[in-house]
């Protein structure tokens, strides 16, 4: 970097010297012998005061042109950095979304495996539901947005699968407030929280109660509430897992500081509140 500065300084001095010689020489030969009429005297060629006056005049022009060049370069570099940042954001979001697939398939196939071990009559029904969910996951995970209505249907399918595995040990309530038509959300955003609620609720317990609600706030925000029971002997504060970590990372990348995610534990219930923009 220092060599570039010295090179720039050398060529600047060289160009200023050439400009002075050419300008003064042409003016002397072609225009007038008085090479410095502004000073009120004829002036002398290579006189220090005359050199300083000419160089200062040229420096104004060079400074103006250099400022324009620097502004153009800065603008190009800014656009390039913004494009790289968007590409990096898009790549990371795609990576986080694709991680949903193996995480989801592992848990779902684990449910199917548990039913086949017990030779449950619900296994064929579970296979059909898993097929529908896999189709949804494979297609929607590559989209940046998904209809909230479809997301809720997807969650309901997941709940049905969990109920088939755990023999109706799950009590689940859903409440929707406001018009969810045309509301779009990041795909598979809420599923990880639902999975987490089952994991916490059924650990050291035979039954779990889960209440999920969606509320559309005007045209700007969507509020998601999830409340599940859990055994007081279970330590859920340190059991977040890769799914929750990825979801939080997705929220940060998608919304920056323009979202709210809060969790509280009270009276053997785990409460999760999420507020995201939908415009």
Q: What is the pLDDT of residues 196-210, one digit of tens each?
A: 887 776 665 677 888
Please state, in angstroms and as integers, the Cα–Cα distance from residue 178 to each residue in 131, 175, 267, following that order.
31, 10, 29
Domain count, the chain: 2
Q: 13 and 57 share a domain?
A: yes
CA distances for 210 relative to 102, 161, 196, 247, 255, angstroms: 25, 15, 11, 20, 27
Domain endpoint, select from 78, 106, 135? 78
pTM score, whole prediction: 0.61
Pull the structure tokens for residue 242: 């890769």
173 in the same domain as 66: no
Q: Do 15 and 62 have their domain in common?
A: yes
The whole-angstrom distance between residue 273's C-alpha and the CA centroid of its chain comes to 21
What mean pLDDT do residues 222-244 have? 72
- Pull the structure tokens for residue 112: 């199917």
Domain that holds residue 261: 93-277
- pLDDT, mean over the chain: 76
| 98 pLDDT more than 70 | no
Is the domain of 135 the same as that of 32? no
105 shares its domain with 65: no
Is residue 238 located within the same domain as residue 152?
Answer: yes
pLDDT band, very low/low/confident/very high, at 25 (cuts 50, 70, 90): low
């Amino acid at each position: 970097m220092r060599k570039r500065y010295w090179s720039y300084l050398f060529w600047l001095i060289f160009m200023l010297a050439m400009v002075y010689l050419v300008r003064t020489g042409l003016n002397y030969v072609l225009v007038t012998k008085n090479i410095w009429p502004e000073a009120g005297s004829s002036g002398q060629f290579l006189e220090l005061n005359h050199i300083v006056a000419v160089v200062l005049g040229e420096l104004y022009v060079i400074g103006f042109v250099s400022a324009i060049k620097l502004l153009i370069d800065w603008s190009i570099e800014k656009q390039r950095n913004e494009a790289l940042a968007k590409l990096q954001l898009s790549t990371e979001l795609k990576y986080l979304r694709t991680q949903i697939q193996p995480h989801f398939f592992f848990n779902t196939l684990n449910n199917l495996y548990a039913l086949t071990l017990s030779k449950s009559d619900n296994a064929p029904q579970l296979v059909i539901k898993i097929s529908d969910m896999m189709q949804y996951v494979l297609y929607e995970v590559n989209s940046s947005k998904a209809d909230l209505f479809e997301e809720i249907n997807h969650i309901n399918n997941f709940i049905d699968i969990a109920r088939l595995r755990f023999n109706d040990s799950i009590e689940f309530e859903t409440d929707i407030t406001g018009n969810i038509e045309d509301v779009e959300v990041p795909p598979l955003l809420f599923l990880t929280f639902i999975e987490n609620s089952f994991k916490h609720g059924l650990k050291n317990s035979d039954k779990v109660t889960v209440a999920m609600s969606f509320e559309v706030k005007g045209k700007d925000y969507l509020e998601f509430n999830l409340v599940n029971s859990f055994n007081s002997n279970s330590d859920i504060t340190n059991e977040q897992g890769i799914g929750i970590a990825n979801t939080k990372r997705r929220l940060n990348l998608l919304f920056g500081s323009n979202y709210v995610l809060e969790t509280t534990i009270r009276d053997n219930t785990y409460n999760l509140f999420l507020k995201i923009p939908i415009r």
